[in-house]
């Protein structure tokens, strides 16, 4: 019953997906995964093989890339699940002369491109880590299996004089959504207002859903490319969207019109965003290795009013405590969570956590639940008073997005390694794993 309080908005819902093709991104991801797997074998000789087609048991269309160490015979396999049958029909996985693999059209796919892309979007949303053995739907990665190291040795943020910044392949995690959502299966109340915005990273838009059950009511184009995360003001009047390619977009939710787009400095790569409880300020994280910062937005004035330097590379997401006095910034590449004193806009302290991704505060702000991809994968519980890890909830997967129930008793965690979602009863420590047919996406609560 209490699970009825939760729901998923899954990115893979074909009817709700993006419209434009982006095979380049898929191919870049495949190349990146190959590089990651090769890196695990050091610089030794490897053999890379690939396959695209229905699973051997006749199931869904799948892409598999295998990297084998010539010296030891050990191998890593990268599997992209839930590819559309039409993709298998109209595209092939082709090895290029340089040894790389690319998905290319088998024939003219123009007439079916829109359909394919809606599924490709689902696939791409799943490619959200720097590595990992992705599983077919319903499967869970076993903890004994080789894993690509996601967190890397802590690195100090580099100064801009050190060369060009290393831009990440995105989305590094599923694009985030904002709002309150419901579907008919949740027994929604027609008298209530439900509002949900989904960020479409690959077609530069935001999709709005309203009603009971929810339906698409608007698709709002975003000028700034590659939107990633969104945050609503407490009165739901304004949606702020970050775009990795130097944009912060303000949308009037009454008119569904963009009211302002801030083009950020070229050195800033907006990613995570958080809105303080009073809606006065928002923080935007620049996901980059050189001079990473957290931008301070004056929400009312729709201006950047300050920036807070983050001392390590690639700060990813930011979260305000419920009372808005502190904010926590996850830095998965540096294996740290940084604390910001909101009043003075300064980095206050830090706590080391392997591959921290996302954070949920309990209602009183005394505890922060932080998803950690460091082996063994777990939810770290940080006492925000002492900034120490006081507990840990292991999960059999790669914990990504996390949400806490309003009564603070349950967690819901999205597995980045599979299509699984985890429900954790914090008191009993019972974890229920729910296998879904779709991966990635965002998690939101139902009032």
- Residues from 86 through 105 that contact other proteins (CB under 8 A): none
In this complex, which beta carbon is closest to other proteins, that of residue 293 or of residue 439? 293
* Residue from the set 3, 89, 406, 429 that interacts with other proteins by CB under 8 A: 406
Binding of other proteins at residue 366 (CB under 8 A)?
yes
In this complex, which beta carbon is closest to other proteins, that of residue 267 or of residue 348? 348
In this complex, which beta carbon is closest to other proteins, that of residue 183 or of residue 366? 366
Binding of other proteins at residue 384 (CB under 8 A)?
yes
Please give the structure tokens belonging to residue 164. Answer: 């060009």
DSSP state of 429: -
Q: Please give the span between the terminal C-alpha atoms of the chain, in angstroms, as a whole number.
A: 14
In this complex, which beta carbon is closest to other proteins, that of residue 349 or of residue 392? 349
DSSP state of 26: H
Q: Is 276 helix (H, G, I), strand (E, B) or coil?
A: coil
Distance of alpha carbon 357 from the chain centroid? 8
Name the segment binding other proteins (CB under 8 A); options: 14-22, 46-54, 155-163, 364-372: 364-372
Name the segment binding other proteins (CB under 8 A); options: 21-29, 142-150, 221-229, 379-387: 379-387
Least CB distance to other proteins at residue 339 (A)? 7
Least CB distance to other proteins at residue 427 (A)? 11
My answer on whether omega of the bond before 376 falls inside 30° of 0, hence cis, is yes
Contact 78, 34 (CB under 8 A): yes
Distance of alpha carbon 431 from the chain centroid? 22
Least CB distance to other proteins at residue 409 (A)? 10
In this complex, which beta carbon is closest to other proteins, that of residue 221 or of residue 447? 447
Q: Which residues pair with 68 in a beta bridge?
A: 47, 75
In this complex, which beta carbon is closest to other proteins, that of residue 81 or of residue 324? 324
In this complex, which beta carbon is closest to other proteins, that of residue 112 or of residue 366? 366
Least CB distance to other proteins at residue 232 (A)? 15
Contact 338, 352 (CB under 8 A): no
195-200/178-180 β-pairing: antiparallel
- Residues from 18 through 77 that contact other proteins (CB under 8 A): none
Binding of other proteins at residue 243 (CB under 8 A)?
no
In this complex, which beta carbon is closest to other proteins, that of residue 60 or of residue 341? 341
Torsions phi, psi for 19 (to 5 deg): -110, -25
In this complex, which beta carbon is closest to other proteins, that of residue 315 or of residue 397? 315
- The 10 Å Cβ neighbour count of residue 55 is 13
Burial of 108 (0-12, 13-18, 19+ CB in 10 A): exposed
In this complex, which beta carbon is closest to other proteins, that of residue 387 or of residue 389? 387
Residue among 36, 55, 58 at smallest CA distance from 136: 55
Contacts of the segment 297-301: beta carbons below 8 A, 24+ positions apart: 297/240, 297/248, 299/233, 299/238, 299/240, 299/275
Contact 302, 241 (CB under 8 A): no
* Residue from the set 92, 113, 387, 434 that interacts with other proteins by CB under 8 A: 387
The Cα–Cα gap between 218 and 236 comes to 16
DSSP state of 384: T
* Per rule CB under 8 A, count of chain residues that contact other proteins: 28
Least CB distance to other proteins at residue 28 (A)? 40
Binding of other proteins at residue 155 (CB under 8 A)?
no
DSSP 302-354: TEEEEEEE-SBS---EEEE-TTSSEEEEEETTTTEEEEEETTTTEEEEEEE-S
> Cα torsion for 5, 6, 7, 11, to the nearest 10°?
160
Least CB distance to other proteins at residue 343 (A)? 5
* Residue from the set 277, 303, 352, 390 that interacts with other proteins by CB under 8 A: 277
Name the segment binding other proteins (CB under 8 A); options: 78-86, 155-163, 381-389, 430-438: 381-389
- Residues from 166 through 195 that contact other proteins (CB under 8 A): 189, 191-192
From residue 317 to residue 356, the character string flagging contacts with other proteins as x (rule: CB under 8 A) and all else as - is ----xxxxxx------------x-xxxxxx-xx-------
Q: Which residues pair with 435 in a beta bridge?
A: 420
Torsions phi, psi for 3 (to 5 deg): -70, -15
In this complex, which beta carbon is closest to other proteins, that of residue 59 or of residue 322? 322
Residue among 330, 312, 324, 323 at smallest CA distance from 382: 330
The Cα–Cα gap between 283 and 328 comes to 10
Q: Is 49 helix (H, G, I), strand (E, B) or coil?
A: strand
Binding of other proteins at residue 390 (CB under 8 A)?
no
* Residue from the set 223, 385, 390, 432 that interacts with other proteins by CB under 8 A: 385
- Residues from 282 through 321 that contact other proteins (CB under 8 A): 321
Binding of other proteins at residue 280 (CB under 8 A)?
no
In this complex, which beta carbon is closest to other proteins, that of residue 45 or of residue 234? 234
| Residues of the shown chain interacting with other proteins in the complex, contacts defined by CB under 8 A | 189, 191-192, 277, 321-326, 339, 341-346, 348-349, 363-366, 384-387, 406
């Amino acid at each position: 019953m209490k699970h009825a309080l939760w729901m998923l908005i899954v990115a893979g819902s074909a009817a709700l997906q993006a419209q434009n093709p982006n095979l380049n991104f898929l191919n870049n991801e495949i190349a990146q995964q190959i590089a990651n797997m090769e890196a695990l074998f050091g610089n030794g000789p490897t053999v890379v093989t690939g396959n695209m087609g229905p699973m051997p048991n006749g199931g869904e269309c799948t892409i598999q890339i295998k990297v084998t160490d010539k010296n030891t015979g050990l191998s890593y396999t990268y599997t992209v699940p839930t590819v559309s049958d039409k993709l298998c029909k109209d595209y092939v996985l082709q090895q290029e002369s340089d040894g790389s693999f690319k998905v290319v059209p088998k024939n003219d796919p123009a007439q079916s491109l829109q359909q394919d892309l809606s599924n490709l979007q689902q696939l791409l949303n799943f490619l959200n880590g720097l590595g990992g053995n992705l599983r077919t739907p319903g499967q869970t990665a076993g903890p004994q299996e080789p894993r690509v190291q996601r967190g890397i040795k802590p690195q100090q943020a580099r100064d801009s004089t050190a060369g060009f910044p290393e831009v990440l392949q995105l989305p590094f995690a599923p694009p985030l959504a904002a709002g309150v959502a419901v579907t008919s299966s949740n027994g929604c109340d027609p008298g209530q207002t439900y509002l949900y915005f989904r960020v479409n990273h690959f077609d530069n838009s935001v999709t709005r859903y309203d009603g009971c059950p929810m339906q698409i009511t608007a698709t709002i184009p975003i000028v700034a490319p590659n939107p990633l995360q969104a945050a609503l003001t407490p009165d739901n009047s304004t949606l702020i969207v970050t775009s990795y390619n130097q944009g912060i977009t303000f949308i009037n939710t009454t008119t569904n019109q963009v009211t302002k787009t801030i083009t950020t400095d070229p050195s800033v790569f907006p990613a995570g965003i958080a809105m303080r409880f009073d809606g006065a300020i928002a923080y935007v994280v620049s996901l980059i290795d050189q001079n990473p910062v957290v931008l301070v937005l004056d929400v009312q004035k729709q201006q950047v009013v300050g920036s807070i330097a983050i001392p390590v590379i690639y700060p990813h997401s930011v979260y305000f405590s419920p009372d808005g006095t502190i904010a926590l910034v996850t830095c998965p590449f540096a294996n740290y969570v940084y604390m910001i004193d909101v009043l003075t806009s300064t980095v206050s302290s830090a706590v080391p956590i392997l591959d921290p991704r996302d954070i949920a505060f309990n209602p009183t702000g005394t505890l922060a639940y932080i998803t950690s991809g460091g082996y063994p994968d777990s939810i770290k519980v940080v006492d925000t008073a002492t900034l120490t890890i006081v507990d840990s909830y292991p999960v059999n997967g790669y914990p990504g997005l996390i949400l806490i129930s309003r009564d603070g008793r349950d967690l819901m965690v999205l597995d980045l390694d599979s299509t699984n979602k985890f429900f954790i009863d914090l008191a009993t420590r019972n974890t229920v794993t729910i296998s879904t047919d779709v991966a990635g996406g965002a998690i939101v609560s139902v009032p």
